[in-house]
Amino acid sequence: MTTIAVLGNGRVGGNLAKALTLAGHEVTVADRAPGAAADAARAARIVINATPGAGSLERLAALREELHGKILVDVSNATVDGPDGLPAALIYSGSSLAEQLQAALPETHVVKTLNTMLFPVMTAPATLTQTPTAFLSGEEPEAKRTVLELLIDLGWRKEWITDLGGIQTARATEAAILFVPHVIRSIGFTPFAISIAR
């Protein structure tokens, strides 16, 4: 059992919190109430960023002390939305939200994952008709191993998880969000994920 704080109580955060609780972890969900995120982060070993990516850097940079020495699992994508509310462009062109978070939180182990799929797939990968891929990006090998174990608890098989390397590799997975609006317009809001065919 691991103590986990989920920052963000929308569809992504709520989905992850429910699944991780069912997997036997002690999970706290922090809403927007003053001090809620700080209290949750302070008490947790692992913190999951499920806040809207456009405001994540500012929110999490304010928790530098609470996140010291913790693993921060970043599942968000920082985008500018188009008129239809779907992602139209990346906020950190030439970089990534994960890199920005790691630079702002040098004593925190940032691991990027689960950001290349619609949210239902994060906790039910086996429901897809084809094998999905979850990617890991981060600087600290032990932190990535811990996050890999969390993914397994969420139903991901080890062979479905690909470690891409350092945090800079999150640029590639975050850029994959630009596929999403086109896929949704083509097939509708049907669960899907980016996958590496082998």
pLDDT at 1: 81
CA atoms within 13 A on the CB side of 148: 18
Q: Is the entire prediction scored with pTM above 0.85?
A: yes
pLDDT at 194: 93
pLDDT at 29: 96
* Average pLDDT by stretches of 10, the chain with 198 residues: 94 97 97 88 97 96 97 97 92 96 98 97 97 98 98 98 98 95 93 92
Residue 196 in tokens: 């590496």
pLDDT at 33: 78
The CA-atom distances, in angstroms, between 34 and each of 54, 60, 70, 100, 101 are 19, 14, 21, 24, 21
Residue 162 in tokens: 């690909």
